[in-house]
Structure 1
Amino acid sequence: MKHAPLLLACLALGACTLGPDFRRPDAQAPAAWNAKGDDVASRPADGAVESRWWRLFDDPQLDRLQARVAAGNLDLQAAAARLEQSRAIRQALGADAVPQVDGNAGYARQRNSEVGLSDPSGEGGRHNFNQLDAGFTLSWELDLWGRVRRELEAAEAQVRASEESRHDVLVAVLAESARDYVQLRGEQGREAILRGNLDIARHSLELTQLRRAEGVATELDVAEAKAQVAVIESQLPGSQKRQARLLNALAYLLGEEPGALAGELAQARPIPRPPQAVPVGLPAELARRRPDIRQAEAVLHAATASIGVARADFYPRISLNGDFGFQALQLANFGDWNSRTFGIGPSLRLPIFEGGRLKGTLALREAQQQEAAIAYRRTVLNAWREVDDALNDYAADQRELAALDEAVEHGRTALANAREQYKAGAVDFLNVLSAQRELLASEERQVRSSEAVGVNLALLYKALGGGWEQEPAGS
């Protein structure tokens, strides 16, 4: 035993860590984004991605909503709880790397068997006796093959994966709340257009009724004017229904009850317009910024470390065990130096026959690592696709909006001319109805297109993975 410490020290110096070491995979990013949209009003730029990208809309109400979403969203709170779980698992596994010390104490009123092995003299079993025990036990596994170190490495990677999962949820809810807010403002704008056209239609109906009274218009003109009023009125409930749904969707994202935002957001406001320059960063930065890519990398790291754990299970486990305490039959003698007990020495556990369990576990861990590597590549490829689609959509919707702005301007001119010509008797009322229908359709498409531009900006920054680096105040 006097050479045991020297032997253990040599074993510790010769310890190694089995299994492959993790190396960060190469994302192989393209040199530049494919779609730039240089011919549109709001153009992507190569500047750093804004950490609080929603401020590009310059809408203080949206800024306040985003802070409340980050503070109250229940999905985000659940992700934070999962993060705490992974940290607790890491802490629990970390205990394997240090010696385990336990204390024990006990008292028993006993009697040995008169005929059993515990009383070979044949006399002690005739008497009852007290037994008092107290002491400490120590156990420490010498991590010679790196099994514990690989377990901790995998646990640490799982913590990072949980952190990135929470970041990914934050990115998603911030983009979703911005999208719902823009859609709400768009639907409010559509209702305003409907009401404006309804006023025009009612004015046209009054004009037609007046002309019929004068004998200039026909009953058919009046019926068509009434039908136009009814058609526009029929579209108002649908717009109001969609607004109510969007208000409830925003309240849900904030972790509040339905209708909680009705008073705050019911008043119509313009659709937020994006700035002239939209920083989108460089493709090489995408893998370092998008939380789902970072999460996939952490999962791959954990899977790689788990291979080392499986390989270490093929080798012996050596533990250093010891105990020290006191044992006595009389309370007066308990604690005397003569009542001491102790034991110290190494223990060895060597797998000899496991029925293929160890080989199967190793094969499983290697297959899981391969799957994690494929998932990482798939996540990166999907990220590039989402950014490319978002850039294309953002530019295309702006081109559509520019054309619709021109169409609405011409439509308003056409309606005004048709009304003047109808008053002068140069055209019939069908021309007025046709001009108004065309204008209403163009204005609705204009609102939808303006809404789509704002929504696509939110989706673009979701694809870029922006929003988690600096969380909104209140989170």
Structure 2
Amino acid sequence: MAERRMSRVLIRETRNVRRMPHGRTVLTIVLTTFLSGCAVGPDFKTPEAPHATSFLPNHDKDLPRGDTVQGRKLLSGQSLPPEWWELFGSPALDRLVREGLAHNPDLLSAEASVRAAQANAMAQRGALFPVIDASFDGSRQRPPGFLSDGETGESTRISPYNVTTRQVSVSFVPDIWGGSRRLIEAADAETEVQIFQREGVYLTLASNIALAAIEEARLRGQIAATHRIIDLQLQFLRILRRQNEEGQIALPDVVVQESAVAQARLTLPPLQKQLAQQRNLLARLTGRTPADLEAAAFVLKSFRLPRSLPISLPGELVRQRPDVRTAEATLRGANAQIGAALAARLPQVTLSGNVGKTRSNMPDLSPGGAFWLLAGNVGQKVFDAGTLYFHQRAAEETTAKAISDYRSTVLTAFQNVADVLRALQSDAASVQAATAAEQTARRNIELIRRQVEQGQISVPTLIVAQEAYLQASLALIDARASNLADTVALFQALGGGWWNRKDS
């Protein structure tokens, strides 16, 4: 509702102006401008933050109460550290993120865009000052014909002569209506857009490197777990073959176990392909080719799950999320364009002048002469088929769109944080359940192994137990990796702590 009220405030003034008779409009704006010294058009006001005290509801009986995560302390109101990835306790990850921030071309491109926007904003300020041009013209010529001496009657050819002109010209368009100042405001807003987009690239890059490292650790864990299961299956296969040779079991029972080993081995190539591609992704994120990547191999044990998580207050989220700040700067720039479009519809004043001197060495011409000129012009569009009017309408509707986009971005930001908190709550339960399942499956396999050695169990039961153990092991690895990945997602959803960085 706050954003909708702001939308009405931003465009109310210009819509009222549009409905006034033309003469009254000009007179009113002239008096307002000269008395207040303000630019025409609505002044930008920062939208109010949502009035929220918590990211999660406390009234849902089917969900945990408040912003809580089982086994992990949430530090509400505590600001995020700018190097949040260091909370995972992995020196290899720290080095990789630093390399990415130093060499990633996407981040370097975003920084260049910031510098370009800053230069454009400075160039726009030139509209507030006079434009001074200096020129020098020189020529040497010999006209055709002769000069006659009145006394002697003799004729002589005209000698070549020089003509030089030096002059300085000044032109100035006073910013009476504030149109230039509105364009400067729009250029400054575009600079802010590029700055916060750069922060978004910075945050996304650090998050993607951390997530890629965690994914690599997950894949390595799955490959290691699969190898363990295959080794265990091979042990069972040797036992079954020996029992078959001794006549205790039939050959089909051995073939069933051989098939189980083959099926387990079949899952390895896709995992190994994903691992290789993950390493290639890490190389690209750090600005290197796959052949040049020297990052250490990541395993889940190389990460420490933070036991406490700093959580910003809900009201601070709109000032900390780069995408929200980008939407706010876009809204500010669109709002400034309304004033610029309105100023373009009003009378334009232009002042100009020049001063100079002409000199010639031709006898019949003046040897030198100074000149100057002062001029002023007031122009007003009388008919343009509604071009300037519709430019203003377009600026107003662009601002209305920017308001809606800003509100949508804010709602998405709160949704992201709430989703990640719910995911972390689920992760804690998933890790606990997966750990219990893996321990049960492992104990079951140990019991079955002793029974198989004694010939007291059927092969189908053995196959089911092996598959259950493999699935439980993979599920535990996935749960631990998801817990780490969702922690990264929480830091990203909260803005990444860029405001605490020294160079921000």
TM-score by length of 1: 0.88
The structure 1 residue matched to 2:266, chosen from 224, 228, 234, is: 234
Q: 1:111 to 1:24 in 2, by over 3 A?
A: farther
In the TM superposition, what whole-angstrom CA distance separates every residue of 1:27-62 from its partner, at most 9, and x where no partner exists? 214111106563522343312223222112111111
2:74 aligned with 1:44, yes or no? yes
2:178 aligned with 1:178, yes or no? no
2:28 aligned with 1:28, yes or no? no
Q: In structure 1, the residue corresponding to 2:498 is in which secondary structure?
A: coil
1:419 aligned residue: 449
The structure 2 residue matched to 1:141, chosen from 148, 152, 173, is: 173
**Mapping of 1:318-329 within 5 angstroms?**
318-329=349-360
2:18 aligned residue: none
Q: 1:196 to 1:348 in 2, by over 3 A?
A: same
2:377 aligned residue: 347
Q: In structure 1, the residue corresponding to 2:269 is in which secondary structure?
A: helix
2:236 aligned with 1:214, yes or no? no
2:474 aligned with 1:444, yes or no? yes
Shift, 1:129, TM fit: 5.2
Q: Structure 1: how far apart are the matches of 2:144 and 2:468?
A: 106
Q: Structure 2: how far apart are the matches of 1:143 and 1:335?
A: 41
2:462 aligned with 1:432, yes or no? yes
2:440 aligned residue: 410
Q: Which runs of no fewer than 5 residues in structure 2 stay unpaired?
A: 1-32, 58-65, 146-157
In the TM superposition, what whole-angstrom CA distance separates every residue of 1:428-451 from its partner, at most 9, and x where no partner exists? 233322212111100001111111
The structure 2 residue matched to 1:71, chosen from 102, 106, 116, is: 102
1:118 aligned residue: none
Q: Which runs of no fewer than 5 residues in structure 1 stay unpaired?
A: 1-10, 115-125
Q: Structure 2: how far apart are the matches of 1:333 and 1:339?
A: 14
2:485 aligned residue: 455
Shift, 1:12, TM fit: 7.5
Q: In structure 1, the residue corresponding to 2:244 is in which secondary structure?
A: helix
Q: After TM superposition, what 4+ stretches of structure 1 lie above 6 angstroms from structure 2?
A: 11-14, 111-114, 331-336
Shift, 1:368, TM fit: 0.7
In the TM superposition, what whole-angstrom CA distance separates every residue of 1:93-129 from its partner, at most 9, and x where no partner exists? 1111112111111223468999xxxxxxxxxxx9975
In the TM superposition, what whole-angstrom CA distance separates every residue of 1:220-263 from its partner, at most 9, and x where no partner exists? 222122112211211111111010111111111112112432x5
Q: In structure 1, the residue corresponding to 2:54 is in which secondary structure?
A: coil
What's the Cα RMSD here?
A: 2.7
Does the 8 Å CA contact 1:16/1:144 hold for their aligned counterparts?
A: no
Q: In structure 2, the residue corresponding to 1:105 is in which secondary structure?
A: strand
Shift, 1:405, TM fit: 0.4
**Mapping of 1:72-111 within 5 angstroms?**
72-109=103-140
Shift, 1:277, TM fit: 1.1
2:312 aligned residue: 281
2:89 aligned residue: 58
Shift, 1:400, TM fit: 0.8
Q: Structure 1: how far apart are the matches of 2:400 and 2:144?
A: 61
Shift, 1:420, TM fit: 0.5
Between Structure 1 and Structure 2, how many residues are aligned? 451
Shift, 1:134, TM fit: 1.6
2:400 aligned with 1:370, yes or no? yes
Task: In structure 2, give the amino acid aligned to 1:379.
Answer: T
Does the 8 Å CA contact 1:189/1:270 hold for their aligned counterparts?
A: no
% identical aligned pairs: 28
2:41 aligned residue: 19
Identify which of structures 1 and 2 has the higher relative contact order when contacts are C-alpha pairs closer than 8 Å and 6+ apart: 1
**Mapping of 1:300-339 within 5 angstroms?**
300-330=331-361, 338-339=368-369
Q: Structure 1: how far apart are the matches of 2:363 and 2:51?
A: 78
Shift, 1:286, TM fit: 0.4
Q: Structure 1: how far apart are the matches of 2:204 and 2:328?
A: 19
Does the 8 Å CA contact 1:37/1:43 hold for their aligned counterparts?
A: no
Does the 8 Å CA contact 2:214/2:300 hold for their aligned counterparts?
A: no
Shift, 1:347, TM fit: 2.9
Q: 1:288 to 1:359 in 2, by over 3 A?
A: same
Q: In structure 2, the residue corresponding to 1:265 is in which secondary structure?
A: coil
Does the 8 Å CA contact 2:320/2:497 hold for their aligned counterparts?
A: no
Q: Structure 1: how far apart are the matches of 2:210 and 2:366?
A: 71
